[in-house]
Structure 1
Amino acid sequence: MSTTNPQASLPAADFHEVIKSRRSVRKYDPDFKLTDEEIKELLTTATLAPSGSNMQPWRFIVITDSELKQKLLPIAFNQEQVVAASAVIAVLVDLQAYTEAPRIYGKAVEAGYMNEETAAKLVENMNRFYGSLPQERALQSALIDGGLVSQQLMLAARARGLDTVPMAGYNVDQFRELLQISDRYANVMLIALGKAAQPGHPTVRLHVDEITHWNGFNV
């Protein structure tokens, strides 16, 4: 088992190097283990991501238990990173996250970022706006926020010398049944997290001029 502190190993990572060095890694060192506290630090950094009205709809299921990983393996189409990585992070979104508005804005009041009158008004606005959103619109909004926090988690991991791979290839229905997830929550992705046994292969990107349009969209 590795005893290296990944946060200490890369204390001042260059932002551009973090972005350039991130790879989708599928081969992990099964002997490398992250502590619960190290994973919580990564998630804390990830949750600095922006979200609509600061409602922070993301919810995480951290899977480190070996037996649970084995149950997840066939659900994830036998992708070996599920059992070899130190953890699998399931990113979900709460479709009723707006009901947390009193707690979120209450914390903002405690921190001195707003007064109680402003907080109360914002809570009222959130209940009125999000409470009346069609389900499809609410899901779309939440999934955007879920994507933002997922990317931030992967970059936070890379900044600490760790590796990840986002996974959409799994049986969502079976996963939800295994973890007993209610309809209030929607799946975003799974993220394998650990230390690479083999580096992810480099990839190419389309040139920015091929994908960017200025002041219109002429295709």
Structure 2
Amino acid sequence: MSLEQISADETDVAHDEEFPEAIRAIRTRRSGHNFDPDADIDDETLEELIRDAALAPSSYNLQPWEFVAVQDDERLEKVVELAYGQEHIREAGTAILVVGHTEAETADRVFDEWEAAGRMDEASAEQTKAQTVEMYEDDRTGRDYGIRNPSLAAQNLLLSAHARGLKATPMIGFDAEGMAEFLELPEDKIPVMLVAVGPSGGEEPERLPRRDVDEVLHRERY
């Protein structure tokens, strides 16, 4: 879809925006199914997409995410099967599984970095680390931690692809257990989101209506 086909409400930028191109990227990004099956992304582009994804915010900067990229044709066929036959994955040429940690396994390194940066003293860093590790030992909290943080990284990935003229489509419709087994995830890692990414095959259907701000914005209370 070209900018000419997008409504003014989606492309106009408010007077107080410091980075208008970022706002345009947010407002023009689309998920779609029209990929170019004869083109692929190269290794450098893949690495840049992940670099941008990994700049997402996370709880205490713990960065509890991993990314598993599948590009081999035969393995992509299995990913399509595990995603209930979503053939646009094959046409995209790259499938990226966003994976979440369910335990605070990066805590030692990260809180050392907090201390080294002068953001916490040694006692505060040790206390906060211990509290964080204990909190995520709870199964429910650990699972929430492993989904919420990597979901932010997934959105960065989608925007990074769009900024590069690529198409990226997120999916939660897949066999999570089967995907975890196929991609050999450790037991403490969980599949969060599958993203098909690749060169665009052209225009998509007109964007479906979005709920209006007046409908979704609640002030002070629901």
**TM-score normalised by the chain length of structure 1:** 0.83
SS, match of residue 155 in structure 1: helix
Once the two structures are superposed, what CA deviation does each residue of 1:17-74 show, in whole Å capped at 9, x if it has no partner?
2112211121211222222221111111111111112211111101111111012221
AA partner of residue 122 (structure 1):
T
CA RMSD of aligned residues (A): 2.1
Q: Does 1:69 align with 2:73?
A: no
Question: Contact between 2:102 and 2:136, CA under 8 Å: does it hold in 1?
Answer: no
Partner of 2:108: 102
Unaligned runs of 5+ in 1: 1-11
198 and 79 in structure 1: CA distance in 2 versus 1, 3 angstrom threshold: farther
With 151-160 and 105-114 compared, the bigger mean Cα shift is at 105-114
Tell me the amino acid that sits aligned with residue 124 of structure 1.
A
* Matching residue of 1:179: 183
Aligned pairs, number = 203
Bigger RCO of structures 1 and 2 (CA < 8 A, at least 6 apart)? 1
Instruction: Write the distance in 1 (CA, Å) between the matches of 2:124 and 2:140.
Output: 29
Structure 2: 5+ residue stretches without partners: 1-18
- Shift of the alpha carbon at 1:105? 2.8
Mapped pair 1:214 → 2:219: yes
Which sits farther off after the overlay, 98-107 or 181-190?
Answer: 98-107
Q: Which amino acid aligns with 1:168?
A: I
Spell out the pairing of 1:109-188 with structure 2 (5 A cutoff). Answer: 109=115, 116=122, 118-131=124-137, 133=138, 135-188=139-192
* In structure 2, C-alpha distance between the alignment counterparts of 1:126 and 1:137, rounded to whole Å: 11
Equivalent residues of 2:50, 2:157 under 8 A apart? yes
Aligned residue for 1:26?
A: 33
Counterpart code for 1:22: R
Q: Structure 1 counterpart of 2:102, which letter?
A: L
